[in-house]
Amino acid sequence: MTEFVRASRLYDVEAGERVRWDWSGQQPVAESEARVQRAVAESHYEG
């Protein structure tokens, strides 16, 4: 990912809710990256 995306824009359209982010750092990196990439793709698709 090469551009900055505000955390408030990370939204799971299918689930109808914000992407849950593990601020404690305990979530596997691959899972975190996949969630962010999906949310960013959706935000670009919408707007």
For every residue of 1-47, DSSP letters joined together read: --S---GGG-EETTTTEEPP--TTS-S-HHHHHHHHHHHHHHHHHH-
The pLDDT, as a whole number, for residue 8 is 62
> Would you state the pLDDT for residue 37?
86
Note the pLDDT of residue 29.
74
What is the structure's pLDDT at 46? 65
Give the model confidence (pLDDT) of 1-47 as tens digits. 456 666 666 677 777 777 766 667 676 777 778 888 888 888 777 65
pLDDT of residue 7: 63
